[in-house]
Structure 1
Amino acid sequence: MTEIRLVGTAHVSRKSVEEVRSAIEEFQPDIVGVELDRGRFVSLREEAAEPSVGEILKGGNFGQLLVQWVLTYIQQRIGAETGVKPGAEMLAAVEEAEAHQKPVALIDRDIRITLARFWGRMGIWEKIKLIGALIYSLVSVEGQKIDVDEFTDQDVVSAAMEEFRKFSPRGAQALIDERDAYLAHQILMLGGRYERVLAVVGAGHIRGVQRYLDAPETLPPLPALTAGVKTLPWAKIIGVGVTILFLLLIAAIAFSGVGIDVLLTALLYWVLINGVLSAAFTLVAGGHPLSAVTAFAVSWLTSLNPLLAAGWFAAIVEAKIRKPAVGEFRQIIEAETLAEMRRIPLFRVVLVAALASVGSTLGTVLYFLFIFPILGIDPTVVIADGFSNMVEMIRGLF
Structure 2
Amino acid sequence: MSLSDIADSLPPVLRDQPIERVTRGGVEYVVLGTAHVSRTSVEAVDALLAHEPFDAVAVELCDSRAQGMRDPDAFKQMDLFQVIRQGKAGMVAASLVLSSFQKRLAEQYGIQPGAEMKAAMDGADQRALPVWLVDREVGTTLKRAWHSVGFWQRFGLLGGLIASVFERQQIEEVEIEKLKQGDMLESAFSEFASESAPLYRSLIAERDAYMAARLREQAASSGFAAGRRVLVVIGAGHLKGLCELLRTQQDDPSTLAGQLASTPPKARWPKWLAIGLVLAIFAAIGFAFHRNTTLGAAALRDWVLYTGGFSAIGAIIAGAHPLSVLAAFIAAPIKPFRPGIPSGGISAMVEAWVRRPRVADFDTLRDDIGHWRGWWSNRVARTLLNFFLVSLGTIIGEYTAGIHIVKSLF
Task: Provide the rounded CA distance (Å) in 2 between the counterparts of 1:155 and 1:201.
Answer: 8
Is the 8 Å Cα contact of residues 10 and 202 (structure 1) preserved in structure 2?
A: yes
Q: 2:382 matched to 1:348?
A: yes
Pairing partner for 2:246 from 201, 213, 235: 213
Aligned twin of 2:38:
13
Counterpart in 2 of 1:382? none
TM-score (norm 1): 0.81
Deviation at 1:187, TM superposition (A): 2.4
Look up the match of 1:77: 104
For 2:39 and 2:374, the matched residues in 1 are separated by 26
Q: Conserved in 2, the CA contact under 8 Å of 1:12 and 1:148?
A: no
Equivalent residue, structure 2, for 1:386: none
Distance, in Å, in 1 between the alignment partners of 2:162 and 2:66 is 28
Q: Which residue of the partner structure matches residue 4 of structure 2?
A: none
Q: Secondary structure at the match of 1:11?
A: coil
The TM-score, its normalising length taken from structure 2, stands at: 0.79
How many Å separate the matches in 1 of 2:321 and 2:49? 53
Distance apart, 1:108 and its partner CA: 1.8
The answer to whether the 8 Å contact 2:214/2:257 transfers is: no
| Gapped regions of structure 1 (runs ≥ 5) | 379-398
Maintained 8 Å contact 2:37/2:179: no
Shift in Å, 1:266: 2.0
Q: Name which of 116, 135, 146 aligns with 1:108.
A: 135
* Matched-pair contact (CA < 8 Å) for 2:344–2:387: yes
Q: Does 1:185 find its partner at 2:222? A: no
1:151 lines up with 2:151 in the alignment: no
SS in 2 for 1:221: helix
Structure 1: distance between partners of 2:110 and 2:182: 25
Change in CA separation of 1:180 and 1:217 when aligned onto 2, cut-off 3 Å = same
Aligned to 1:242: 277
* Residues 359/12 of structure 1: CA separation in 2 closer, same or farther (3 Å cut): farther
Query: RMSD across aligned C-alpha pairs, in angstroms?
Result: 3.2
Range with bigger deviation, 144-153 or 134-143? 144-153
Q: Which moved more, 1:314-323 or 1:166-175?
A: 166-175
Is the contact made by 1:240 and 1:304 (CA closer than 8 Å) also made in structure 2?
no
Whether the 8 Å contact between 1:37 and 1:107 is mirrored in structure 2 is yes
1:113-165 per-residue CA deviation (whole Å, 9 max, x = no partner) reads 334444454543333221111112223354445477523554999x9799534
Could you report, residue by residue, the CA deviation over 1:336-379 in whole angstroms, capped at 9, with x for unpaired residues? Answer: 73234542212211221121011101111223334444x3x53x
Change beyond 3 A, Cα 1:155–1:337? closer
What amino acid sits opposite 1:48 in the alignment?
Answer: A
Counterparts in 2 of 1:234 and 1:325: CA distance versus 1, 3 Å: farther
2:123 paired with 1:89: no
Partner of residue 29 from structure 1, selected from 45, 54, 60: 54
* C-alpha distance in 1 between matches for 2:338 and 2:270: 11
User: After the TM superposition, which of the residue ranges 233-242 and 348-357 deviates more from structure 2?
Assistant: 233-242
Q: Percent identity?
A: 30
- Deviation, 1:57, is 2.4
Secondary structure of 1:207 counterpart: helix
Name the counterpart of 2:398.
364
Whether contact under 8 Å (2:100, 2:367) holds in the other structure is yes
Structure 2: segments with no counterpart, 5+ residues: 1-25
Output aligned runs, 1:216-365, within 5 Å. Answer: 216-217=249-250, 221-234=256-269, 236-255=271-290, 257=291, 259-302=292-335, 305-325=338-358, 328-329=361-362, 331-333=364-366, 335=368, 337-338=370-371, 339-365=373-399
Aligned positions of 1:367-386 closer than 5 A: 367-373=401-407, 375=408, 378=410
CA drift of 1:289 comes to 2.7
TM superposition shift of 1:80: 1.7
Rounded Cα–Cα distance in structure 2 between residues aligned with 1:96 and 1:28: 12
Q: Is the 8 A contact 2:361 2:380 kept in 1?
A: yes
